[in-house]
Amino acid sequence: MGPETTKSFTPRDEEVAELLMDIGIKRNVARVLVFLTNNAEATSREIERGTDLRQPEVSIAMRYLKECDWIDVRESRSESKGRPVKIYNLSRPISEIMDKIEYEKKKEARHQLDLIQKMRECISTQ
């Protein structure tokens, strides 16, 4: 995949990333997730260019996505004598990732409601 095939963010991509951020996904993770949804695979440099993120932001996002098991990483020998280039792609369909995000958000909401209920019980016993 070369720079000429890397897509840039469209207004629709910006909207999707904003929605992800509104539900609590960090900005860099949201942008990388949207980018990889639209690109079958990409190097970190392509992700930097396509998402308008800096290298450290992309690295942090990739670490999080890897911990969630949402991306796969493979290495490709570079044409020069440097380090191999890492190529990233989503390890599962975006619909599965959204299912997981929804599950986690529902779990958080239930926990918050349980805490509110405990608080009500504490207040009513005073």
> What CA–CA distance (Å, rounded) separates 63 from 86?
13
Going from the first residue of the chain to its last (126 residues), give the mean pLDDT of each consecutive group of 10, the final group possibly shorter.
Answer: 62 96 96 96 94 95 97 84 88 96 96 96 86
pLDDT score, position 4: 45
pLDDT score, position 3: 44
> What CA–CA distance (Å, rounded) separates 99 from 90?
15
Which amino acid, one-letter code, is at 109? A
pLDDT score, position 121: 92
